[in-house]
Amino acid sequence: MEKILTKKLERQIKFTEDILAGMIDLVRVIDKNNRVVFVNEPMKKLLGDIKGEICYRALGKSCKCNVCITETAIRDGKIVTKEELIGDRIFSVVSSPIRDEEGKIYCAVEVFRDVTEKKKMEKTILDKNLKMKRDLDFAKKIQQRIIPKDGIYNDMIEIHSKYIPSEILGGDVFDIIDIDEENIGLYMADVAGHGITASMITMFIRQTLKNMEKDALDPAYTLNYLKCRYKELNLDDNYYFTILYGVFNKKSSTIRIVNGGHNCMPIVFEKGDVREMFLPGLPICNLFDSVQYKECSINLDRGDRMLFYTDGILEARNINKEVYSDRILKICLENPSAKGDKLIKDIIDDVKNFSNNRIDDDIAIMMMEVL
């Protein structure tokens, strides 16, 4: 009977050792005196037969670890983890307490899993993310610098504005174009979406219009030219942008405007009266081959103003999913004499309060005042 029990015990031990030997992970057992009492075959292949050695010396260390997870596991009866460097390999080590039949802890088992390649991959991803962040931060600075500063342009108009991207990079853009001594161009554009792709298209818009120089004098021609240049990019149909483009003539005190599908109608402050202009038009995209942009012209005397903005304001939503919509016109009607910077601040504050400070889309707003 004793022989039978002994053989069964030997078979069970052999079975357990075979399981441990077949593992990829390295396994060793440490007693309360910090001595190695068992190692599996994978650990033997890496470190040799370290059975009987002090645990830290078996790993090639001359002194005890600053944090001994096995002592902690035996003392507290908890599973403890850390990372261990063995040669040029990094291992994730898990130390678990082992209890006898009475529930008393008498040693701990340590499982070493090689995570070297995982760590290398994590570092590679981290380095690339850091580089991408630096690139995005640089692109953000460039985008912020191309937005026109508030102030007087060509002794014709004064500009007040605000730009709030919903991500690091935005898809809204506006600018002032110095055409000649009598004419100045200005526009407000909104690219579908936001982020890197949208920001690249804003750069295209800005550069194309800047390069037109005196050809930008005709608003309808300008949008048709912009549309032709855009089609040459051969982008997918889901990419498009809207734009309001106008040219103000100092001599006639007239602004001529065309609408490229922009759904945020400009608001005119004229002799104390506040009204919203209606300008039909189609967006700049690849869906329409031939588009006729209709020009609208209005006279603006000294002190008259126009407010341009994007749908990040109109489409802001509150907790009840209601849209901001014509609240912007209401604020303008209630404050017809407010200075440009003050009015813009009031509008932005109202949008933030309405949406509980949640900005889901880029916001751009610009007021032009005739001098």
What are the backbone dihedrals phi and psi of residue 29, each rounded to the nearest 5 degrees, phi first?
-115, 135
**What is the rounded average pLDDT of the residues 345-353?**
95
**Residue 363 and residue 223 share a domain:** yes
Residue partners of 1: CB distance under 8 A and separation at least 6: none
Collapsed DSSP state (helix, strand, coil) of residue 345: helix
Tokens (6 digits) for 273: 């009266």
Tokens (6 digits) for 161: 């504005």
In a domain, 6, yes or no: no
Flag whether pLDDT at 9 surpasses 50: no
pLDDT in tens, 28-69: 999 999 999 999 989 999 899 999 999 999 998 888 888 899
For the question of whether the overall pTM of this predicted structure is more than 0.95, the answer is no
Please check whether residue 220 is in contact with residue 242, taking contact to mean a CB–CB distance below 8 angstroms: no
**Residue 174 and residue 50 share a domain:** no
Exposed/middle/buried for residue 2 (C-beta within 10 Å: 0-12, 13-18, 19+): exposed
pLDDT in tens, 65-84: 888 999 999 999 999 999 99
In a domain, 138, yes or no: no
In a domain, 131, yes or no: no
**Residue 72 and residue 204 share a domain:** no
Higher pLDDT, 235 or 187: 187
**Domain final residue pick, 96, 115, 134:** 115
pLDDT range class, residue 366, cuts 50, 70, 90: very high
Quote the pLDDT of residue 74. Answer: 92
Give 191's strand partners. 241
Rounded to whole angstroms, how far apart are CA atoms 217 and 236? 30
Quote the pLDDT of residue 140. Answer: 80
Q: Which helix (H) or strand (E) holds 243?
A: strand 241-249
Collapsed DSSP state (helix, strand, coil) of residue 366: strand
Residue 168, domain extent: 144-370
Collapsed DSSP state (helix, strand, coil) of residue 150: coil
In a domain, 262, yes or no: yes
**Residue 256 and residue 196 share a domain:** yes
What are the backbone dihedrals phi and psi of residue 348, each rounded to the nearest 5 degrees, phi first?
-60, -45
**What is the rounded average pLDDT of the residues 131-154?**
86
Quote the pLDDT of residue 8. Answer: 55
How many domains, in total, are found in the chain? 2
Rounded to whole angstroms, how far apart are CA atoms 184 and 154? 8
**Residue 200 and residue 80 share a domain:** no
In a domain, 9, yes or no: no
**Residue 290 and residue 158 share a domain:** yes
| Cα distances (Å, whole numbers) of residue 111 to 64, 98, 123, 263, 344 | 19, 13, 24, 63, 63
Flag whether pLDDT at 251 surpasses 90: yes
Q: How many CB atoms lie within 10 A of CB 169?
A: 21
In a domain, 128, yes or no: no
**Residue 310 and residue 166 share a domain:** yes
Rounded to whole angstroms, how far apart are CA atoms 113 and 159? 63
Quote the pLDDT of residue 360. Answer: 83
**Residue 176 and residue 248 share a domain:** yes
Beta strands in 154-288 (DSSP E): 157-164, 172-178, 183-191, 241-249, 254-260, 267-270, 273-276
In a domain, 289, yes or no: yes
**Domain final residue pick, 115, 134, 155:** 115
pLDDT in tens, 16-27: 555 555 678 899
pLDDT in tens, 192-225: 877 888 888 999 999 999 999 888 999 999 999 9
**Residue 276 and residue 162 share a domain:** yes
**Residue 246 and residue 105 share a domain:** no
**Domain final residue pick, 68, 99, 115:** 115
Q: Please report, in angstroms and rounded to a whole number, the separation of the first and last CA atoms in the chain.
A: 112
Least confident segment among 140-144, 182-186, 227-231, 275-279: 140-144
Quote the pLDDT of residue 213. Answer: 86
Quote the pLDDT of residue 6. Answer: 52
Rounded to whole angstroms, how far apart are CA atoms 268 and 305? 6
**Residue 176 and residue 93 share a domain:** no
Report the CATH number that the domain containing residue 96 is assigned in CATH: 3.30.450.20
Quote the pLDDT of residue 16. Answer: 57
Quick one: how far is CA 63 from the chain centroid? 47
In a domain, 7, yes or no: no
**Residue 363 and residue 250 share a domain:** yes
Report the CATH number that the domain containing residue 241 is assigned in CATH: 3.60.40.10
